[in-house]
Amino acid sequence: MRDPILIAYCNIFLYNQEAIEVPQQFVTNWKDLISLNNIGSINDPADNFFEIDISTILTEFTINVGSVISYHCGFQQPHKVILDYQPDFNQFDMRIINDQGIDIPCLRFHNPINQHALKFAEPSYKVNPQFISK
């Protein structure tokens, strides 16, 4: 198993912010590969894939899909995430972590019930196991 290529350790996803900042060192290390294809994807812990335009990584040091991912993951407050770059697939695997850096489950977003919102509003709320990432 390889070491993860962390591009956004403890990057905070704000539910109303589009840009996800990308460290300049990541761009320096991977610009040749990223420039070959402007399309990539983000895979969240619930195995949802989001096709993304990664051309802004090279020009602005950002990935501009923060609000889309926040919406589909049900984020209604800031969340810390780690993005692990998979160069073979031009994919970023996303993990959600707490303040101690420990992975927390991604509660899937299902209309009309937002599992994240219910859990954050009432910590004792019992989430149905089918809505929790493995």
Within-domain flag for 28: yes
Within-domain flag for 131: no
Within-domain flag for 2: no
Residue pLDDT, tens place only, 77-98: 778 888 888 888 888 888 888 8
pLDDT tens, residue order, the chain (134 aa): 444 455 544 456 666 678 888 888 888 888 888 888 888 888 888 777 888 888 888 899 888 888 888 877 777 777 888 888 888 888 888 888 888 888 887 765 544 455 656 666 677 766 666 555 54
Within-domain flag for 133: no
Q: What's the domain count of the chain?
A: 1
For residues 70 and 14, the answer to whether their CB atoms sit within 8 Å is yes
Q: Which domain holds residue 77?
A: 11-125
Question: For the chain, what is the HEC assignment?
Answer: CCCCCECCCCEEECCCCCEEECCHHHHHHHHHHHCCCCEEEEECCCCCEEEEECHHHHHHCEEECHHHHHHHHCCCCCEEEEEEEECCCCEEEEEEECCCCCECCCECEECCEEHHHHHHHCCCCCCCHHHECC
Within-domain flag for 4: no
Within-domain flag for 95: yes
Within-domain flag for 69: yes
Within-domain flag for 3: no
